[in-house]
Amino acid sequence: MSLQGARAKRRRFAICAKWCRPLCEVSAAAAESQGVSISFEPGEEIEAPIERARMERVFLNLIGNALEAMPGGGAIHITERVDRESVLIRITDTGRAFCRPFARSCSSLSSVRAKKMVLGLGLALSRQTVLDHGGEIWVEEGSPGARFVVRLPAAKRGSTARPLQPAL
């Protein structure tokens, strides 16, 4: 069996809030120790076909990056909402903002550079995981700090989990 086939078999429908909320709780101790608050605002109960362990790593990476950007305190706010046939999850922080040219270059989120103007390997791997799930990840400008948005396809009512083809 191919790696893609094995991954597709591990995908199950999961209610997003049921795996996002525990990630906030896991990160809370580290956040509190540096004066950062984490809040989570769930949307309506919606399922997405995901490989849970891989998607958890994506969100732990985004939360970890936000914590790195706020050594002197701040806030991380995670929201979830349904947009047509997708789940949109926004991770917003009050840390240092990306510079505009850097934010524009993030559309591919695939660069791996030194940690100063950084998109580390974790973000490149996160991007690939989201793409493998039929989703997208991008940076939105206009807020203090950074705002990453992850779009995942939502499960249709009455459907059964089916393998998603990884993006190339």
What is the reported pLDDT for 11?
A: 59
Beta strands in the chain, from DSSP E residues, in sequence order: 12-15, 36-41, 47-50, 74-83, 86-93, 136-140, 147-153
What is the reported pLDDT for 73?
A: 94
What is the reported pLDDT for 91?
A: 93
Which tens digits make up the pLDDT trace of 7-34? 555 556 666 777 888 888 889 989 999 9
pTM for the structure as a whole? 0.76
Which tens digits make up the pLDDT trace of 98-124? 554 444 445 454 443 334 444 567 888
Q: Is 149 domain-assigned? A: yes
Q: Is 159 domain-assigned? A: no
Give the CA radius of gyration of the chain.
Answer: 16
CB atoms within 10 A of CB 77: 18
Q: Is 114 domain-assigned? A: yes
Residues 6+ apart with CB under 8 A from 103: 139, 141
What is the reported pLDDT for 144?
A: 79
Q: Is 160 domain-assigned? A: no
Structural domain span for residue 14: 3-153
Which tens digits make up the pLDDT trace of 30-69? 999 999 999 999 888 777 888 888 999 999 999 998 999 8
CATH number of domain containing 138: 3.30.565.10
For the chain, what is the domain count? 1
Query: pLDDT class for 161, splitting at 50, 70, 90?
Result: very low
Q: Is 167 domain-assigned? A: no
Question: Mean pLDDT over residues 82-111, rounded?
Answer: 68
Q: Is the pLDDT of residue 159 over 90?
A: no
What is the reported pLDDT for 92?
A: 93
